[in-house]
A and B are shown apart, each in its own frame.
Chain A
Amino acid sequence: MNAATSAIVPPRRIWWLAGGFGVWCLALSVLYALHAVGCAFGWPTAVLRWSLVIVFIAHLLVIGWMWLKFARQTPNADAGKTGSFLQDVIVWSTIVAFASAVLALGPPLLLTTCI
């Protein structure tokens, strides 16, 4: 029965529901802080922009890696519906986090840096 078989899904697994978006939050915080520091200290435009781009890509790579990792994982058959449910929600949350990062954090990097 479902309840009996899904006992093997460890509670720590649910932390991954927040994994992709956790990295998204970190990316936003780091980008916002780095931009503020760069503008306050008068960094050259190119240095500031490339710093932001590198930070952005680094976070994107982490979320992308998480996406691939979770998508390749096959839910343990013993985990039953609970395992497959959590697997689906984790994968899709990560995909949505990736898309959110691309849409919300990427295009602004093309704008004038410190006006």
Chain B
Amino acid sequence: MSGPVSSQPEGAHALRLHRQLNRIWATGPGWQRLAAVNHSVIGKRMFLTSFTFFLIAGVLGMLTRVQLATPHSGFLDPETYNQVFTVHGSMMLFLFAIPMVESFAVYLTPKILGTRDFAFPRLTAYGYWCYLFGASIITVSLVLGIAPNGGWFMYTPLSSNVYSPGVNADIWLLGITFVEISALSLAVEITVSILKMRAPGMSLDRMPIFGWYILVTALMMIVAFPPLILGSILLELERAFGMPFFDPTRGGDSLLWQHLFWLFGHPDVYIIFLPMAGVLSTMIPVFANRQLVGYRAIVVAIIALAFLSFGIWVHHMFTVGIPHLALAFFSAGSAIVAVPTAVQVFAWLATLSHGKPRWGVPMLYIFGFFFIFAMGGLTGVMLAMVPFDWQAHDTYFVVAHMHYVVAGALAFPMMAAIYYWLPLVTGRTAVHRLAVPAFWLIFIGFNMTFFLMHLTGLLGMPRRVYTYRGDEGWNWLNLLSSVGGFVMTIGFGLLLIDLVVQLRFGRRVRRDPWKAATFEWAMALPPASYAFASIPHAGPQTDSVPRGELALSLARGEGYLGFARNGWQETLGVHITSGKPDQVIVLPNPTYLPLVTAIVTGGVVLGFLFKAYWLSLVLALVTFGLFVHAGSRAGLSRDHGPLPVGLGVEVPPHTEVASTPSYLAMICALFANGTLFTSLIFGTFYLWLAGGDWQKMTPPTPSWSLAFGAIVSLVIAAVSTRGSLKVVAASGKASAWMGLTAIALIAAVAAIVQMILGVTPSPREHALGATASVLLGYVAFHAGAGLLFLFSNFQRVRNGYISQRRSSDLRLTQLWVGYTLVTGIIAVGLVLALPSLVTVLGARP
């Protein structure tokens, strides 16, 4: 990647520029496709993969409707039915909904924000492969008849070893966690890219509203996924090693799972909704022929919605016996969350009413969204009221509500978006002959299926029963629901045919077919591998230019970076708030590493599944090794200083600035990590208060000297990372400081491991010991990971990738070790406090 910098930008002619850039950016043919890291390629793959899982999950849903169409049906036996409805729900939520919105974010965000790719293309690819492999594990398990069978939220104790002794629950826990790694990595990627990689001049106030929606969604994912990842880890530790976090007979509590699950599960609804709301906020102004009404109000509403959605998880647990006063917090919160949602809905309606709306197939699906989502929202407010929820809980009313919300929030905007952006992806316009009847079949079929479920639920039909007697008054409702399901399925079949027809026979489209205002239409259709031949400037001078004309200008290289240099995949980094260019970001080329790393990560998961724990451990180390290897030659191996980027601007490469994307990514990763740690602290206190027999256990007696040794070692490690940085900043050699850090981290790990070995009661005997072990294990893991950072630093210093100007690696290590120190003090302090906490429990009445 390194080499002499050309003093003069190469060619400006559009075709020559296209050839030059395509040679640098394009993914190779044949097997080289597996090495793709380009966001357009990965975005399309994610879309097709998630759509495939949507079809599979849809078929599973239809199987449940066939079973329930008549009483005493023998179509599916109870065990198969359990697997089918569990995988239907899990697949729709985890393997379709979240990846689908991510696929929109991956494909569209860089283009809408006017940049060439994401900040970490290899991470995008790794995320995709993790998703594919995790999802495949779950799908294959269904074929083998060993699929998860405890419902899509996998409640304990049903999913604990006692009641689910097979691998079914393990497949869910490991498969879904695998998929969540993908979601988290993409969330970090998206956050950093939106903040740092917009078109120059695109200050935060000029950012398309889609960017705000995706940014807030990505931040929500960073906070929402860790509690479920922690829950899955704890439940797997219980199932694999007998550590009883959720077993009430050994100091655990099954409700802890519900808390951890819904801390993720409720925000997840909004994680699905917000990107689609972003899609709507992008499309509606185009069809209304006017700007979006209430841009600032919508940004405030998005922020409010994000936070409120985290504060209402308990409304899924109204019937578990929590005191009324506490329930009221969550009931009121669940009601007021409708307000920021309504702000957006009214902004869309105002945009339409103040504009000159034109009709089109996307608008038809937007109409469907308004109708369905309003219905789902209203029943949501009903369920937010505790007395009503007590009546309707775990009935088909909830099933109906959920489908109205998810279909309203996701499916209808998704279909609108498909018709809107398909010309961008394929370069062809829609034929539209089948799109309209497909819409009406889906719309009518959907309402027929799910509206009637409200009534079935109010008549008392519980969810998840595989059959019913026939004298409850549910027969006709169930039969009509099933008929509606088939009508809807025919509609989706037509939609699929329409899409295939469009791909095959659609007319070639002209640039900017919708007369839109966003940058994704200022490029060739379908987009080239580099997206923009030159990067646009966002400002008054480009606002009024039709996107088709702007596309031609950019293709001629009249924007930023309208040339090829050194074979680098270059794009621009900008100041977070102002959008002023501040760095050239040189992205990595296609590589098989993401695929290989994901395969090895898959091996870790499969090792756990087949109880080959040592194999899992070895493969986990190989995975970390591959990450270190991937980083060993990332960036630039020498200093370059400011480089010309076109339009008279010069900025340094990303390796030579403080605000490098990797630094921001580390902050995001630590934020996610901190959420997981906070959830662990919450779990500790929850079990202390709610777990059985904690006060009857002999209080643990952690070693104060080992604890002191561990903390002092971590302090030395943190101080010595600062020393390394100072020495490098003064052009010195940091080997001694780095060596000291390594020794201190090894000492910390040794002290913590000794503490774990001395934990009483035994982690298998009682949740008290299990909790103390996990808290200490968290610190040991992070100190161990710090050693990997150091190993990487050593390698990169040796290879010349770290210098006085290029010191971001050391800053990342400093951040990581600092985080380990802070969480280490809290975790070790809590373990030391456990004896006193247990003693305090004796004061309970």
- Measured CB to CB, the residues of A under 8 A from B are 1-4, 6-7, 9-11, 13-14, 17-18, 21-22, 24-25, 28, 31-33, 35-37, 39-42, 80-82, 84-86, 88-89, 92-93, 96-97, 100, 103-105, 107-109, 111-115
Q: Give the A-binding residues of B (Cβ under 8 A).
A: 195, 200-201, 203-206, 296-297, 299-300, 303-304, 306-308, 310-311, 323-326, 328-329, 332-333, 336, 340, 539, 575-580, 659, 685, 689-690, 843-845
The distance in angstroms between the C-alpha atoms of A7 and B651, with both chains bound, is 15
A93 touches B303 (CB 8 A): yes
Q: Given the complex, which residues of B lie within 8 Å of A33, measured CB to CB?
A: 685
A6-B311 in contact (CB<8A): no
Contacts known (A14-B204, A37-B689, A111-B325); A82 close to B311, Cβ less than 8 A = no
Who on chain A is nearest to B326 by CB? A35
List the B side residues contacting A108 at CB < 8 Å. 325-326, 328-329, 332
Determine whether the beta carbon of A100 is less than 8 Å from that of B580: no
Q: Hey, which chain B residues are within 8 Å of A6, CB to CB?
A: 203, 577-580
18 residue pairs of the A-B complex, CB under 8 angstroms, read: A1-B539, A3-B578, A9-B578, A13-B577, A41-B844, A42-B845, A82-B577, A82-B578, A85-B204, A86-B205, A92-B296, A97-B307, A100-B308, A100-B333, A108-B328, A109-B325, A111-B324, A115-B323
The answer for the CA separation of A82 and B659 in the assembled complex, in Å, is: 20
Take A6-B203, A11-B576, A21-B304 as given contacts and tell me if A104 and B333 are in contact as well, using a CB distance cutoff of 8 Å: yes
**Contacts A41-B844, A111-B324 given: A14-B577 contact, CB under 8 Å?**
yes
* Cα separation A114 to B575 with both chains bound (whole Å): 51
A3 to B308, CA, bound (A): 33
Q: Which residues of A contact B579 (CB under 8 A)?
A: 3, 6
Is there contact, CB below 8 Å, between B329 and A28?
yes
**In the complex, what distance in Å separates the CA atom of A31 from the CA atom of B314?**
14
CB of A105 within 8 A of CB of B329, answer: yes
CA distance A40 to B206 in the complex (A): 51
Determine how close the nearest CB of chain B comes to the CB of A20; give it in whole angstroms: 9
Q: Contact at B311–A89, with CB atoms within 8 Å?
A: no
When distances are taken between beta carbons in the complex, the residues of chain A under 8 Å from B685 are: 33
Chain B residues lying within 8 Å of A17, measured Cβ to Cβ, are 303
Q: Describe A's contact surface by its main secondary structure.
A: helix
* Total A-B pairs, Cβ < 8 A: 138
Contacts of B299 in A (CB 8 A): 89
Interface centre among A10, A28, A97 (most CB of B within 10 A): A28
Q: Please determine whether B204 and A25 come into contact, CB atoms closer than 8 angstroms.
A: no
- Kindly list chain A residues whose C-beta atoms are within 8 Å of the C-beta of B340: 96
Task: Kindly list 7 other residue pairs between chains A and B, CB separation below 8 angstroms, not including A2-B201, A6-B579.
Answer: A2-B203, A3-B579, A36-B689, A39-B323, A81-B203, A108-B326, A113-B323
B578, A24: Cβ atoms under 8 Å? no
| A111 partner residues in chain B, CB cutoff 8 A | 324-325, 328
Closest 6 CB pairs of A and B: A108-B328, A85-B205, A21-B307, A42-B845, A11-B576, A104-B332
Q: Is the CB of B575 within 8 A of A11?
A: yes
Let me know if A2 and B539 touch, CB within 8 A: yes
- Interface-central residue, B300, B325, B326, B340, by most chain A CB under 10 Å: B325
User: Given A3-B539, A39-B323: A81 and B580 within 8 A (CB)?
Assistant: no
Whether A100 lies near B575 (C-beta < 8 A) is no
**CB atoms of B203 and A35 under 8 A apart:** no
- A-chain residues with CB within 8 Å of residue B307 when the two chains form the complex: 18, 21-22, 24-25, 97
Are A7 and B325 neighbours in the complex by a CB distance under 8 Å?
A: no
Our pick among A21, A32, A97, A112 for the contact of B329 (Cβ within 8 Å) is: A32
Contact for B332 among A13, A80, A103, A114, CB less than 8 A? A103
Complex: A85 Cα to B202 Cα, angstroms: 13
Query: How many Å from the CB of B351 to the closest CB on chain A?
Result: 19
Chain B nearest CB: distance from A8 CB in Å? Answer: 8
Known contacts A18-B307, A25-B307, A41-B845; is-contact A82 B332 (Cβ 8 Å): no
